[in-house]
Each structure stands twice: as C-alpha cells, then as structure tokens.
Amino acid sequence: MTGLRKRVAVLYTPGTNCEEETMAAFRLAGGNPQLLFMNDILKGRVRMTDCDCFCVPGGFSGGDHIATGILVATLLADHFRRLVEARIPILGICNGFQALDRARLFTDGVTLSRNDSEVFCSMPVKHRVETSNCIWTKGLEGQILRFPSAHGYGKVVGESRPNVVLTYASESPNGGFIAGICSDNGRIFGLMDHPERPYGNPDGLEIFRNGIRAA
C-alpha cells in the first residue's frame, strides 16, 4: 500500500527541527514521506528529483548564520533548478520559505525581512486563502485556515508584487499583510507559518493533500 503512495522528499539540513511534524502531516495526507539529507545530495548519493513532491521544512538551517536560509539556497542552487525543470511541486515552510526565496524561486525583487516587533513571534494565526493559481491551495479560495506562526524574519517586502496565496486574517505575527506566496506557475509555495502544527490540524492537511494530488 505504501509503495503506491506519492513519494514526498523532506529535506534535512543541520539546524532543521520541524521534519518529524512535516513528515507526519504528509503521511496523514496520504503521501509517503522520506527524509532526504543534504549531505547525501551534495555527495551524489541521492538525487533531489527522485520524488513526486518536495518540501523544505522549518528550523534554523545553518544556524541562520550569514542570513536566514542562505546556506541551503547556495549549496543546493543547481538541485533546486532541476526540481523546477522537472515540474515537481515544492513546499517551503518557515525557514524553508526563506531558503526558497534566497534561491530566487519566486518573483524577483521580493524578500523576507525581520518582524516589525524585532522579536521571534509564536502565536495562533488565521490565514485567508486568496484566489491564485497555486496548486497547494486549489479549491480553498476564500477559506480561513488556522495554524501557528513561529518566526523572527517573516515579513514579505520588496519592490515587485509577488503571486500572493495567503494573507493574514488576524493579527500579523510579523507586521506584514502577506502570509504566503507562490511561483508564477503556481507549483512552488512558500509560507512562514506552520500548517504541520499540530500535524493532525485539518486546515493544514488540506494544503498537504493538494500538493500530493498535484504531484
């Protein structure tokens, strides 16, 4: 039975700390999640494209040294490009969103800055699903999804308008209005808050199910 399920690669790097909840959420959503170690990718033992769906979970990759998500984005730049070329659905949560943004998988001129409060913010959050071409939120447009924040650098800023998928329908944890964006083709989704927490959260599971369906 497990072999018939879509393969979901969940990236693990030094500093990742949300992989267990993320894998549990994908499993409950009907996927077959497998942990993928960055060191194995860099040494050529595995390929990032050997999956149906790919996720960069939350945490503090590289200890957030230099800048949030920059080490993952730099070391795996070519591998991310191959994922995009293979049209594999990609999800980036919290630090994963930061890494995908650093790898320039979204609109140019958009970045994530420090919370207006200048402190790490963990709180329950309501998210409004906007109308977009995002495969991860297909059929959820107009709904309010509830799952928590846990970040210190999550405010979407920039000179250009990104492809907005989620907006804050309650108090913003970072002072911004945008809670999640996607690539122009709708297949790469980044959000700062945590749909995997708790991993049985029905609102979050809808996002994971959509990604698996689209894979």
Q: What's the gap between Cα 78 and its chain centre?
A: 18
Phi, psi values for residue 64, rounded to 5°? 60, 25
Annotated catalytic residue 94: yes
Distances (CA, A) of 58 to 1, 46, 68, 72: 29, 21, 11, 12
| Measured distance CA(191)–CA(201) in Å, rounded | 16
Among residues 94, 121, 134, 182, the one annotated as catalytic is 94
9: left (phi over 0), alpha (psi -120 to 50) or beta: beta
Among residues 18, 53, 127, 194, the one annotated as catalytic is 194
Whether 140 and 204 have beta carbons less than 8 Å apart is answered as no
Annotated catalytic residue 194: yes
Among residues 19, 21, 130, 196, the one annotated as catalytic is 196
Active site residues: 94, 194, 196
